[in-house]
Amino acid sequence: MSEIQRVGVVGCGLMGSGIAEVCARAGLDVIVREIDAGAAEAGQKRIIASLDRGVRSTKISETDRDAALARIHVTTDLADLADRQLVVEAVIEDESLKTEVFAALDKVIVDDHAILASNTSSIPVMKLGMATSRPEQVVGIHFFNPVPVLRLVEVVTSLLTSPETVAAAQDFATNTLHKRVIRSQDRAGFIVNALLVPYILSAVRMMESGFASAEDIDTGMVEGCNHPMGPLHLADLIGLDTCQAVADSLYTEFKEPLYASPPLLSRMVEAGLLGRKVGRGFYDYSVKG
């Protein structure tokens, strides 16, 4: 059993709420930091809705739901994370914001052995580590969406991450959270997004050029390749702002056209059509079918 008992999560959006939930369900004490009271309340509601879905589908009991909820405390004050042994940062995919968060965490976290992890999909871990005075304790712990459902975690090590930190992160994900860990070196996009994002961008280009409809592109991959959902549905699930931000990190790193965000994706992000989380992206989710 990992020695980590006190976990902090920064950001309680799609991913932070899921990370807080799985940690609390594993019996850990969790403090989640959001930016303001409104975002904190929205994050808490997201956690409750997910736990309620777990109860409805009989994956967890009402008692376990209530116990998990009692272990999660939401705050707007980063200083409340001072005693955490592990912090997982899950704010939006913005390098300068994440760098700021790591610099602030470095000042706030008291435990000399604490691990500072990022759930970034694409930003090199080294850049986050160098914002702190302890880059050897900074590691990528990249969960997948929805966190309570998908087992995979990528553990990403920078050139400066210590073997002890990597071992502790891997042990935590494997033995405490019962996730399946794969290891990646520190290149933008790591393993999964370096493969997935060009696929999603190709689907957007295909639709943008009038080559095929969103429905036909998705049906093609679901019925023809047995994928659980098509690329445009998946983009809506991830969030189009996140897809674009990840593509931009990959493009910055590799300068390959296959990572360049297509104009349609940029226009949709500018229009606020961010996918399922706002009710509309490539598909309309406002009317439940």
Ligand X SMILES: NC(=O)c1ccc[n+]([C@@H]2O[C@H](COP(=O)([O-])OP(=O)(O)OC[C@H]3O[C@@H](n4cnc5c(N)ncnc54)[C@H](O)[C@@H]3O)[C@@H](O)[C@H]2O)c1
**Catalytic residue ranges:** 121, 142, 154, 193
DSSP helix/strand/coil, 152: strand
Told to check if 261 binds ligand X by CB under 6 A, we report no
Told to check if 13 binds ligand X by CB under 6 A, we report yes
| CB atoms near residue 2 (< 10 Å) | 18
Told to check if 239 binds ligand X by CB under 6 A, we report yes
Least distance to ligand X, CB of residue 5, Å:
22
Told to check if 10 binds ligand X by CB under 6 A, we report yes
Cβ burial, residue 222 (10 Å; 0-12/13-18/19+): middle
* Residue 173: DSSP 8-state: I
Sequence letter at residue 144: F
Q: Roughly what angle, to the nearest 10 degrees, separates helices 240-254 and 231-238? A: 100
Among 101, 114, 196, 200, binds ligand X (CB under 6 A): 101
**Per-residue contact string for residues 128-147; x = within reach of ligand X by CB under 6 A:** --------------xxxx--
Told to check if 109 binds ligand X by CB under 6 A, we report no
Told to check if 158 binds ligand X by CB under 6 A, we report no
* Residue 179: DSSP 8-state: P
Residue nearest to ligand X (CB): 13
Told to check if 39 binds ligand X by CB under 6 A, we report yes
Told to check if 34 binds ligand X by CB under 6 A, we report yes
Strands (E), 106-265: 115-118, 138-143, 152-157, 180-185
Least distance to ligand X, CB of residue 246, Å:
6
* Cα distance between the two ends of the chain: 43
Expressed in percent and rounded to 5, the helix, strand and coil fractions of the chain are: 50, 15, 35
Told to check if 248 binds ligand X by CB under 6 A, we report no
Footprint (CB under 6 A) of ligand X, residues 199-238: 238
Binding residues (CB under 6 A) for ligand X: these are: 10-16, 33-35, 39, 90-93, 97, 101, 119-121, 142-145, 238-239, 242, 246, 277
